[in-house]
Structure 1
């Protein structure tokens, strides 16, 4: 379904309840498999979380997780320790192009029995679950944090726990800290010293209720709307001032783009108050999922930007850097990208009625939507937002009707 967005120029005011974090939901769903007395509240309703739940409940040999990249990484580790179960883990055409070798190699070093069904280093993979004793694993610090989190989530179930040593600079530290924070919150003993993480084995926990915070990546689109508006006050729920999610750095990034953030218990009010800068430079190595939103915001504001730390965007649902370059260029942007950065020059106008291709990427659809405050445009395959935020278009309509 393509969706036509008409230009909207009135002030924005409203209250939005955003679904639970996809990242927190998926981590807690894995942990619940090891600790049945863990109760989860405000679980996200994203496609990714739904695929994770279906996969964990499935008794079939073949488990298809479609586009759910987080589920692919986390389930690879989980099924590796599912003693006595044989599983073929597969996904969409794009998922079969996304590398899994680094995680498979790490699991094999712990004794996991995993083989490739088609192409070496890529899904689908066949996993023969067995009891792993754990121990020491060495991994490149520059890999996706999802590989690291996948290992950390199964660590309490390992007889000897896990000693995870990084080589080189560590990528996406906040996502690793999120995983460790959730482990600690349910009573698992963790320690991060210099370049090594230690997770102690744990068979049982006390009865625990974990409340999933709303998704900060989803909040980014409201930050963009407020930044691009002439006048706006939007309250979003439910958010914590001291969040485990790395994308909460939105507060500081968007302050430079004219948006103030005010917490009130579990809600967050965004307001257009400050003048924005003419040029910004952000290192997004700790929050790469908000790069698309920031790039589109800067284009809509007519300002230049240099965004770095984006090397993990090459292996997401699409090559997000090339996708941004393609679609922003259609709108009139002067933009260039490398394998790890994006560079946008200041612009003076935006083309009308452009069809934005989403490349099966939910964040492409949502990142471009706020441009309706500057021009009319059309979003291809608008339903792709269900991957992380099924109610997105309904919530946007409530602000612009």
Structure 2
């Protein structure tokens, strides 16, 4: 499905946009719920990734010798489920995914699980899915990982840790990246009563049979999804305002850094007592270029780069080393599509530099590369020019209602 977004200016946006629960929090809690069935979750994400997690975890209840579990494009599910199935005694699964998923490396996590004693084999290519996992009781409790790997590898180990007989002591070697996602995992473990510690580069998780604390957790709405609304407000006229729910000032999500980052673009955030936020365009006094380190929130890179381009600004974004192994090589994809629009972009393995420019080509078709964030990051440019989004249905991976919500905002969207 290709969509044409016609150039608009927003005059009367809706009062409140309701955004579903965080995919990151939901997927962690779904796995914990599978380990601790007494746990109840509200406001779960309606994303494809979370539906894949739910379906895969349901398969664990089936009575069959070897089960095929297909996570499609869901990288979080692949990593979390690899750890989960490794400790399901007597259960054998083949964990697979899309053709792109079979190109995404998983050896770092598999090696760590094997260090602990897990029984995992590669079905096709060494170091990549699919995996044959034979669940077993794991008693080893010491493992080491490079600290600059994807936080999902680390979180996968931490989430299964309280169900290990002797818990887990995880040593991270080097400089840690994506700290907020690790802290999110530890905070959710703490919320259900699991004892943890994170000192220097060593994370310890104590064993626990049942949840002792909260048995009902409400998932905060997704800050990554909010980023596209921040971009829309940044590209709108002064005075444009919208309210998003449900958000907390003391968020566990690293992407809540949006609040500070988007002050660069004249966007201010007000936290309301009812756990919503109001975001508004206050001024056009933005700098000609910004420098932003995104180690802790790499999923914001596409949104920020497109916002800068739409405002005629430049940017230097770093800490983006994990973007090359996402749904697509996001750095190359960003360069390709921004250059179609007239931008000058340079990339390295972990950075992107956009030159300031006020020129934007019209009626450009944006390729999405089966990547939900490419579709959503570029959509706000309809405030500056006509734009076509290819394979627009890809947004279902994390934000199925995105196009519906944009239409409610006043965007003119038609299928072509």
Structure 2 residue matching 1:270: 3-state secondary structure: strand
CA distance in 2 between counterparts of 1:364 and 1:347 reads 21
* 8 Å Cα contact 1:20-1:212 kept in structure 2: yes
CA drift at 1:11 = 3.0
Question: Aligned partners of 2:387 and 2:298: how far apart in 1?
Answer: 25
Distance in 1 (CA, whole Å) between partners of 2:24 and 2:11 is 32
Tell me, in whole angstroms, the C-alpha distance in 1 between the residues paired with 2:409 and 2:168. Answer: 47
* CA offset digits 1:22-49 (Å, max 9, x no partner): 0000000000111111000001100000
SS at match of 2:13: strand
SS in 1 for 2:81: helix
Cα distance in 2 between the residues matched to 1:95 and 1:21: 22
The yes-or-no answer on 1:75 pairing with 2:85 is no
Deviations 1:242-284 (A, max 9, x none): 0000000000100111100000021000000032121100000
* RMSD, aligned CA: 0.9
Matched, 1:339 2:346: no
* Matched residue, 1:249: 257
- Tell me the matched-pair count: 401
Taking the aligned partners of 1:332 and 1:241, their CA distance within structure 2 comes to 38
**8 Å CA contact 2:151, 2:177 repeated in 1:** yes
Aligned: 1:160 with 2:138:
no
Q: Which of residues 200, 213, 216 in structure 2 aligns to 1:209?
A: 216
The two structures have a TM-score, normalised by structure 2, of 0.95
Cα distance change, pair 146–197 in 1 and its aligned pair in 2 (3 A)? same
Q: Distance in 2 between matches of 1:359 and 1:246?
A: 25
Q: CA deviation at 1:12?
A: 5.2
Normalising by structure 1, we get a TM-score of: 0.99
Question: Which secondary structure state, in structure 1, belongs to the residue aligned with residue 265 of structure 2?
Answer: coil
Gaps of 5+ in 1: none
Match of 1:66 among 69, 72, 75: 72
Shift of residue 67, structure 1, vs aligned partner: 0.2
Aligned counterparts, 1:177-192, within 5 A: 177-192=183-198
Match of 1:47 in 2: 48
Structure 2 Cα separation of the partners of residues 69 and 132 of structure 1: 24
In the alignment, is the contact (CA less than 8 A) between 1:12 and 1:229 conserved in 2?
no
Off by >2 Å, runs of 4+ in structure 1: 10-14
Give 3-state SS (helix, strand or coil) of 1:256's partner: helix
> Equivalent residue for 1:32?
33
Q: Which residue of 2 aligns with 1:271?
A: 280
Task: Name the structure 2 match of 1:238.
Answer: 246
Are 1:21 and 2:22 matched, yes or no? Answer: yes
1:317 equivalent in structure 2: 327
SS of residue matched to 1:13: coil
Check conservation: 2:10, 2:409, Cα contact below 8 A: no
Q: Distance in 1 between matches of 2:22 and 2:195?
A: 24
CA distance in 2 between counterparts of 1:160 and 1:336 reads 48
1:198 aligns with 2:207: no
Contact residue 311 and residue 358 of structure 2 kept, 8 A: no
Q: Structure 2 CA distance, aligned partners of 1:56 and 1:35? A: 12
When residues 335 and 12 of structure 1 are mapped into structure 2, their CA distance, relative to the original with a 3 A threshold, is farther
| 8 Å CA contact 1:155, 1:161 repeated in 2 | yes
List runs of 5+ in structure 2 lacking aligned partners.
Answer: 412-416
Within the candidate set 349, 358, 362, 2:359 is matched to 349
Do the aligned partners of 1:325 and 1:336 also contact (CA within 8 Å) in 2? yes
